[in-house]
Amino acid sequence: MAWLVMTLHGMAWLGMAWLGLVWLGLACYDFAWYGEAWYGEAWLVMTLHGMAWLGMVSYLRVCLEDVADALKLAFPNDIAHGYIMMSHRTYFGNCTLILQELIDPPEHVLLALIFAPISIIPFLVTLVVCKSKTSEPQA
């Protein structure tokens, strides 16, 4: 039970509800009841934390694996796949990328970024050599 509390960062009641729902959903093959209850809890968390779903989906996967092991079913199975796909279609379909994907800069910008430091190095070396020749020795 300690891994449940650590995984959910203080939301143990939600984790126990999910575990119970997964157990009942897989044992009874009741997609409608399980999906409705899990989505209600998931919507609450999504409105509080935005689109931070990575931990929740991985927790759902762990729960589905545990229930499949307890029921002596192979994992992944069609039932677990159905639950995961249903949650992806419902919640991930409307998520947009917050950050733009990075692309390579145009070639002229890339060449300027490469040659600017290279051309500054000889100037700095010349400046240091000239400064060291003209400075008086300190005693």
Query: Could you please report the per-residue DSSP string of 53-115?
Result: -HHHHHHHHHHHHHHHHHTT--SS-HHHHHHHHHHIIIIITT---SSPPP-PPPHHHHHHHHH
The pLDDT score that the predictor gives to residue 77 is 84
pTM: 0.36
The pLDDT score that the predictor gives to residue 86 is 78
Q: Name the stretches of the chain with pLDDT < 70.
A: 1-59, 91-99, 135-139
The pLDDT score that the predictor gives to residue 82 is 84
Long-range Cβ contacts of 6-12 (<8 Å, 24+ apart): 7/55, 7/59, 7/62, 8/55, 8/59, 11/45
Determine the residue type at 117.
P
The pLDDT score that the predictor gives to residue 4 is 40
The pLDDT score that the predictor gives to residue 110 is 93
- Position of tokens 């960062």? 9
The pLDDT score that the predictor gives to residue 122 is 93
The pLDDT score that the predictor gives to residue 64 is 78
Long-range Cβ contacts of 71-74 (<8 Å, 24+ apart): 71/26, 71/27, 73/26
CA distance 69 to 38: 21
CA distance 66 to 56: 15
The pLDDT score that the predictor gives to residue 12 is 43
Note the Cα 48 to chain centre separation in Å.
Answer: 17
